[in-house]
Structure formats: C-alpha cells, structure tokens
A and B are shown apart, each in its own frame.
Chain A
Amino acid sequence: EAEVAQSPRYKITEKSQAVAFWCDPISGHATLYWYRQILGQGPELLVQFQDESVVDDSQLPKDRFSAERLKGVDSTLKIQPAELGDSAMYLCASSLYPTSGSGSYNEQFFGPGTRLTVL
C-alpha cells in the first residue's frame, strides 16, 4: 500500500541550530503539503506545492522557514535558526491534483510526521 514517507521521525535540536525534514509523497501525487501541529492544536498548513511550484505559503514564517520541491517529487522543509516555539509535529501530506468545481475533491494522505523538540 502506497504511503507518504517522512524522515526523521524524531528530531531534537538546540535553539539557533538548523534542521531539515524530508517528505516523499505517494507516487503520482502532484500536490504536497507541509503542516505544523503544535501540541493540543490542529494541524496548520505551512506550505502547499503543486508540482514544483508553491501555491500557498501564507502561513510560512519566511524569515526562518524554507521549503522546496525541486523536481516536483520529494520535498524538504528547513528551519534556520530553530527557536523554542518551533517545537511541534511537522506533518507532510500528498494528494492528486485538486480539481475545481463542485462534487470533486482529492483526499490528502498523511505521513507519520516528524516530532521536533527545540531545547
């Protein structure tokens, strides 16, 4: 069964260090999402890719976060420098192309997440 892969599963880092997370979506899924989930809250979209292009990064703290999906397949999310408030679960999801119009939706499939702890 196809799955979204993420690594590492757990990451502990010190404040001001750089961290990077990797996501490999389900094969054939053109849309890739990165979410941040702070403990006790629901996931919040950080960035959405359509193939290699960013289509929504309105909630991405661009002074320290960056995301890329160079070949339109796997993706990397980077934080530099990490801050204490960045401690959270980072979830990746993928889906087929969203289709416009009523009655259509392509479900997002989630990976296991990367749990980041910043000390």
Chain B
Amino acid sequence: AQKVTQAQTEISVVEKEDVTLDCVYETRDTTYYLFWYKQPPSGELVFLIRRNSFDEQNEISGRYSWNFQKSTSSFNFTITASQVVDSAVYFCALVLSGGYQKVTFGIGTKLQVIP
C-alpha cells in the first residue's frame, strides 16, 4: 500500500522568507505520479505540480520550486520570498499508474506567512 508523509503540520514564516515543505512517500510500484496541491481557506484544492517517477528533474515556476529525489523518496516544495497570499494548507499526493489511479494524500502542511 502507498503512503504519503508530511511531517510538518504547521509552519510559520515572516513574509519574504524562503520556506520548504517536506514530503516523503512510500510505494513499491516503479511507475507513479506525485503532486502538490494548495488549499486556501476557501476550501478548493488547487493543482500546483505533477511529476512522474521517471522524471527526476527539478522544476521551478516563479517563486515555487520542487525537488524530487527517488533515492530518498522525497518530493519537497520550496517557496522563495514568501507572501501573505501563500498562506494555505499544502498537500502532497501520490497516484499509482494504471488501474483506477486512486490518489493518496498526505495530511497537509499549514503554512502561515506573517506580514
């Protein structure tokens, strides 16, 4: 069975600081997808990024960057120069390829950016 662990339940940073959200996953499958979602107070899950298990290239999108390391089964998310609008709960998720592609979510990390 697959599992996603987000060890940080809550993080507070001061605006403009960099912050890294950790995600560690477990699966015996060799083909899978990893995701990050943002859930603002309004409740809707907003897709941020998808990464498949064959692509270990790190990715940068504006102030967001992701570090995928299969050797440590980690898919960490960094926000550079954090802003108050980044305050939300962030979820890491895992989907196995094939079948009906059930999504396994971590418990989420609540990020508070203080002005």
A interface residue numbers (CB < 8 A to B): 31, 33, 40-45, 48, 50, 55-56, 89, 91, 93, 98, 100-113, 115
Contacts and interface: CB of A to CB of B under 8 A. Distances in A.
6 contacts: A45-B102, A56-B100, A98-B99, A98-B101, A101-B97, A105-B50
B60 interface: no
Interface string B11-54: 00000000000000000000101000000001111010010101
Interface residues of B, number: 26
Contact of B107 (A40, A93, A106, A115): A40
6 A-B pairs with least C-beta separation = A42-B105, A110-B45, A98-B101, A102-B31, A113-B43, A100-B98
A56 B101 CA distance: 10
A92 to B, nearest CB: 11
Contact of B102 (A48, A103, A106): A48
Given A111-B44, A112-B44, A103 B108 contact: no
B101 to A, nearest CB: 4
Nearest to A48: B100
B95 interface: yes
A56 B44 contact: no
Contacts of B102: 45, 48, 56
Majority SS of interface residues in chain A? loop
A98 B47 CA distance: 18
Contact of A106 (B101, B106, B108): B101
B107 A107 contact: no
Contact of B108 (A41, A44, A109): A41
A98 B99 CA distance: 7
A80 B108 CA distance: 29
Contact of A42 (B42, B99, B107): B107
A93 B45 CA distance: 10
A42 B44 contact: no
A106 B97 CA distance: 10
Contacts of A105: 33, 50, 52, 95, 97, 101
